[in-house]
């Protein structure tokens, strides 16, 4: 089932006897999932020793729903702010959707966007953090998609809510798209409403008020994602990069494809940029492209008489070609802009950076570990 079909079903937009019956079955399956989530969270709430702290500060960026909530642009925003404070930053993530142990699509995108920030992928985020500290000399860790990974202690917990459906249709997976009940927001230090420009002022305020009731101590932020440029694959090794302005899409006949959690948001972005979307091919989130997929996109683009083909940045790094048939292939590069609460969030990140161990501290620790006069404690 495509992501859009699943969202249509659980949201109630898909009507009919069959859809109603299927929602009933999903509601039955929701119960065991909800119990499992409750039990896991209870264990962490009542057994602090399950949480492991590493030697450097950790910032988590996560969400409470399935699919895309704008995590990758926010991870880039956070990492850049920490780098601006003069500390070495490493990203850690689970690596969902990676093939043969290699980097997944999000890691490849982040590698291009943050060339000075290494990325360690491991389902065991504690192990990944220790690799980042011991082998990459990281002074701070940014944990991507970390809200539900409670075993790694964090110094700042940032939770994102997608403004277009912030509370997962009010139901936990598989009946809705919540990973855990919304009351879990009480664990958050910061709650940021992403894509906030896609809803009205009154809708934003309604979400803010509900979050204030659920997590009264959390900082409230709002952000938007803005296309900054088009990027492509260089045709020769001598070309460092290939870029074009987003205005290239205005008035163009565009064939688009994506394998992301929220394909509707990508299509809306293209329309907002003035593109005429004449074909749209949707794949599952983290889709691994094979030759028949590329041939299908080429056929649909040609049949629609498209001027060019466009995808997301994380799809481009997997397809890895400059053209599809005779048509150029571009990806829309997206960056986050914090429109409300940005100064306070930057201040909290500065405090995290200030708590990071300095190079002098690390040198002193190394000297002490090599001091033959030191005796091990019993």
CB 201 within 8 A of CB 300: no
Task: Report the topology of domain 50-225+337-355.
Answer: Rossmann fold (3.40.50)
- 152 assigned binding-site residue: no
- 66 assigned binding-site residue: yes
127-141, 224-238, 277-291, 303-317: range with lowest mean pLDDT: 224-238
Smallest CA-to-CA distance from 141 within 85, 70, 343, 130 is with 130
Question: Which helix or strand (DSSP H or E) is residue 219 part of?
Answer: strand 219-232
CB 144 within 8 A of CB 91: yes
Residue with tokens 């080429």: 298
CA contacts within 13 A on the Cβ side of 366: 9
Residue with tokens 């009010």: 170
> What pLDDT, on a 0 to 100 scale, did the predictor assign at position 171?
94
Confidence of residue 370 (pLDDT cuts 50, 70, 90): low
Question: Which helix or strand (DSSP H or E) is residue 37 part of?
Answer: helix 17-46
Confidence of residue 101 (pLDDT cuts 50, 70, 90): low
145-149, 285-289, 312-316: range with lowest mean pLDDT: 285-289
Residue with tokens 């509601």: 27
Q: Please state the φ and ψ torsions of residue 157, each to the nearest 5 degrees.
A: -110, 110
d(C-alpha 158, C-alpha 152), whole Å: 14
- 65 assigned binding-site residue: yes
Q: Please tell me if the domain spanning 50-225+337-355 has the same topology as the one spanning 227-334.
A: yes
d(C-alpha 168, C-alpha 224), whole Å: 19
Indicate the burial class of 166 (C-beta count within 10 angstroms; 0-12, 13-18, 19 or more).
Answer: buried
d(C-alpha 99, C-alpha 72), whole Å: 19
> Which residues face 132 on adjacent strands?
none
Pick the CATH number of 227-334 from 3.30.70, 1.10.1790, 1.25.40, 3.40.50: 3.40.50
Smallest CA-to-CA distance from 71 within 59, 82, 57 is with 59
11-50: pLDDT as tens digits? 989 999 999 999 999 999 999 999 999 999 999 999 999 9
> What pLDDT, on a 0 to 100 scale, did the predictor assign at position 218?
98
Q: Please state the φ and ψ torsions of residue 115, each to the nearest 5 degrees.
A: -65, -20
- 70 assigned binding-site residue: yes
* Average pLDDT over all residues of the chain: 90
> What pLDDT, on a 0 to 100 scale, did the predictor assign at position 378?
34
- 318 assigned binding-site residue: no
- 9 assigned binding-site residue: no
> What pLDDT, on a 0 to 100 scale, did the predictor assign at position 366?
56
170-218: pLDDT as tens digits? 999 999 999 999 999 999 999 999 999 989 999 999 999 999 999 999 9
Q: CA angle, 171 as apex, 167 and 177 as ends, to 5°?
A: 65
Domain ranges of the chain: 3-45, 50-225+337-355, 227-334
Residues whose CB falls within 8 Å of the CB of residue 135, separated by 6 or more in sequence, listed in order? none
Residues whose CB falls within 8 Å of the CB of residue 172, separated by 6 or more in sequence, listed in order? 30, 33, 34, 37, 178, 179, 180, 181
117-172: pLDDT as tens digits? 999 999 999 999 999 999 999 999 999 999 999 999 999 999 999 998 899 999 99
> What pLDDT, on a 0 to 100 scale, did the predictor assign at position 261?
78
**What is the β-pairing status of strands 327-340 and 323-324?**
antiparallel
d(C-alpha 162, C-alpha 177), whole Å: 12
């Amino acid at each position: 089932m495509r992501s859009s079909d699943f969202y249509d079903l659980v949201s109630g937009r898909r009507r009919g006897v069959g859809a109603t019956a299927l929602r009933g079955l999903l509601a039955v399956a929701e119960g065991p999932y909800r119990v499992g989530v409750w039990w896991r969270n209870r264990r962490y709430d009542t057994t602090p020793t399950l949480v492991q702290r590493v030697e450097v500060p950790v910032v988590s960026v996560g969400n409470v729903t399935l699919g895309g909530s704008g995590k990758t642009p926010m991870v880039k925003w956070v990492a850049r702010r920490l780098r601006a404070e003069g500390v070495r930053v490493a990203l850690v993530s689970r690596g969902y959707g990676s093939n043969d142990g290699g980097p997944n699509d999000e890691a490849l995108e982040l590698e291009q966007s943050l060339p000075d920030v290494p990325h360690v992928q491991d389902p065991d985020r504690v192990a990944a953090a220790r690799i980042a500290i011991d082998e990459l000399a990281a002074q701070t860790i940014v944990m991507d998609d970390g809200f539900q990974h409670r075993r790694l202690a964090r110094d700042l917990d940032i939770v994102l809510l997608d403004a277009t459906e912030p509370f997962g249709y009010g139901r936990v997976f598989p009946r809705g798209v919540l990973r855990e009940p919304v009351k879990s927001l009480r664990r958050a230090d910061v709650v940021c409403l992403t894509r906030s420009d896609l809803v009205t002022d009154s809708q934003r305020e309604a979400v803010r008020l509900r979050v204030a009731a659920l997590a009264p101590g959390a900082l409230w932020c709002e952000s938007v994602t803005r296309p900054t440029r088009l990027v492509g694959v260089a045709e020769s090794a001598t070309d460092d990069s290939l870029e074009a302005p987003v205005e290239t899409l205005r008035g163009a006949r565009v064939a688009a494809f994506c394998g992301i959690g929220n394909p509707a948001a990508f299509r809306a972005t293209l329309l907002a940029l003035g593109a005429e979307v004449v074909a749209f091919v949707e794949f599952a989130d983290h889709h691994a492209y094979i030759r028949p997929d590329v041939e299908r996109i080429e056929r649909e683009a040609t049949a629609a008489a498209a001027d060019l083909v466009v995808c997301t940045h994380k799809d481009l790094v997997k397809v890895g070609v400059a053209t599809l048939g005779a048509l150029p292939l571009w990806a829309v590069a997206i960056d986050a802009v914090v429109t409300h609460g940005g100064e306070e969030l930057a201040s909290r990140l500065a405090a995290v950076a200030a708590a990071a161990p300095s190079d002098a501290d690390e040198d002193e620790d190394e000297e002490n570990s090599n001091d033959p006069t030191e005796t091990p404690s019993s």
